[in-house]
Copies of this chain bind each other. A is one copy, B any other.
Amino acid sequence: MTLNNDRRIGRYAVLLLISEDPKETKDSIERLGWRACSGKVGSMEASKVVAAIETAARKNDIVQTGLYRESHALYHAIIEALQGVTRGQVQLGSVLRTVGLRFAVVRGKPYNNSEEGEWIAVSLYGTIGAPIKGAEHETIGMGINHI
């Protein structure tokens, strides 16, 4: 069931956000026959971050609209990614901080054994800080789930 080194789905999801050449990352993902999307969201509300990612994933056919199974897999991956971003409590405005994030969602088969099936990776990268321009530092998060 080993994780294939050329199919590290989480690494691809993060590289889509921080690589010098995201186009190259996108190509690698497509060459594997996987699906991916990315986008931007800035908010003081964690729920808006969740919604932005869910909407993008549906619009880009990463997850099937109306199939809860897939939404459930995506939701937990998003929350796990948010835990990396928030480091302690999944809260933004309620503790007076805001985020400016880029996100990516990748769906593919990262394991050698094909029975391991499809997995989903959600990555987040951007800044977190006070609601004052520039009073912020970088933050990252990634969640991975079977789908």
Residues of A within 8 A of B (CB): 1-3, 8-11, 14-15, 18-20, 24, 45-47, 50-51, 54, 66-69, 71-73, 75-76, 79-80, 82-85, 87-91, 93-97, 110-111, 113, 115-117, 119, 121, 123, 125, 127, 129-130, 132-146
22 residue pairs of the A-B complex, CB under 8 angstroms, read: A1-B67, A1-B134, A1-B135, A10-B138, A10-B139, A11-B18, A11-B125, A46-B91, A46-B96, A47-B94, A47-B95, A54-B96, A67-B113, A68-B137, A79-B88, A84-B85, A84-B87, A89-B90, A137-B144, A138-B144, A139-B142, A140-B142
A129 contacts which chain B residues (CB < 8 A)? 68, 72
CB-contact partner of A10 in B1, B11, B140, under 8 A: B140
CA distance A144 to B139 in the complex (A): 8
A93 contacts which chain B residues (CB < 8 A)? 47
A133 contacts which chain B residues (CB < 8 A)? 2
Instruction: List the 6 closest pairs (A to B, CB-CB), nearest first.
Output: A84-B84, A10-B138, A50-B96, A1-B134, A47-B96, A83-B87
Distance to closest chain B CB from A80 (angstroms): 4
CA distance A68 to B130 in the complex (A): 9
A130 contacts which chain B residues (CB < 8 A)? 54, 68, 71, 75
Known: A46-B95, A68-B134, A89-B90. 7 other contacts (CB 8 A): A1-B134, A14-B18, A15-B18, A50-B95, A76-B76, A83-B87, A88-B90
